[in-house]
Amino acid sequence: MMSAHKIIIAIDGFSSCGKSTLAKELSTKLGYNYIDSGAMYRAITLYFLRNQVNFSDPMKVLDAIANIHLSFVFNEQYLRSDIHLNDEDVEPYIRDMIVSEKVSEVAAIREVRSFAVAQQKRMGRKKGIVMDGRDIGTAVFPDAELKIFMTADPEVRVMRRFKEMYAANPHITIDEVRHNLELRDYIDSNREESPLRHADDAILLDNSGLTRDEQLEIVLEWVKERTPQTPKGAYS
């Protein structure tokens, strides 16, 4: 049983803090739509790489964006929503290291962010969504009823990302992953357009020592506090 009063849940934070995992679990538990903003930027990056778009040329970027159509399509095999780029399911490709190395650079481009944020705002008009990213609570949904800023110990994040990437690329090294995360943190936090920052009204969630179940239980309590119409036992 779910509350009739739906809200927007904005989750921001550093790479490999488990933002997407939490967002997916929340959306399933609450019956909300999950929007993976990171997948959107990764899909755009993939398009740029495939088409050798010059990131430093605003006109080339605008021309490329005009040819990009993004959508989320439910994958019945894996019970998830996959990002589609111009009607192609690109979920298997957007986590490659070559995309990971460039996504923060692409996401920092003003024209790219304007394009993505406009789509994200449109997706949130009816509320009842969970969205994770870098600027969801600050730029995309500054009026979200629940904002969460996630963090974790840097070495915990490195090992999480290493385990994730090793399954697809057994030749990856921990040092490569650490370097990639450090670079992404720097770019995300120092870019001119919508940098990663902790919104004043966001709740800090350090999940270094939390299990997924513990984390979910904590956040569901926060959701209940912001949805007064929620019936007792709705999310149990």
Q: How far is CA 162 from the centre of its chain?
A: 18
The helix/strand/coil state of 124 is coil
Domain that holds residue 37: 8-224
Q: What is the CATH number of the domain that holds 122?
A: 3.40.50.300
- So what's the pLDDT on residue 233? 56
* Reported pTM: 0.81
- Asked if residue 233 belongs to a domain, the reply is no
Mean pLDDT, 10 residues at a time, over the chain (236 residues)? 75 94 93 91 98 96 96 81 94 93 94 93 89 93 97 96 89 95 93 90 97 97 84 55
- Asked if residue 236 belongs to a domain, the reply is no
- So what's the pLDDT on residue 2? 47
Contacts of 219 (CB under 8 A, 6+ apart): 22, 26, 148, 205
- Asked if residue 147 belongs to a domain, the reply is yes
- So what's the pLDDT on residue 236? 54
- Asked if residue 2 belongs to a domain, the reply is no
- So what's the pLDDT on residue 1? 36
- Asked if residue 146 belongs to a domain, the reply is yes
| Structural domain count of the chain | 1
Q: What backbone torsions phi and psi does residue 81 show, to the nearest 5 degrees? A: -95, 120
- So what's the pLDDT on residue 194? 86
- So what's the pLDDT on residue 192? 86
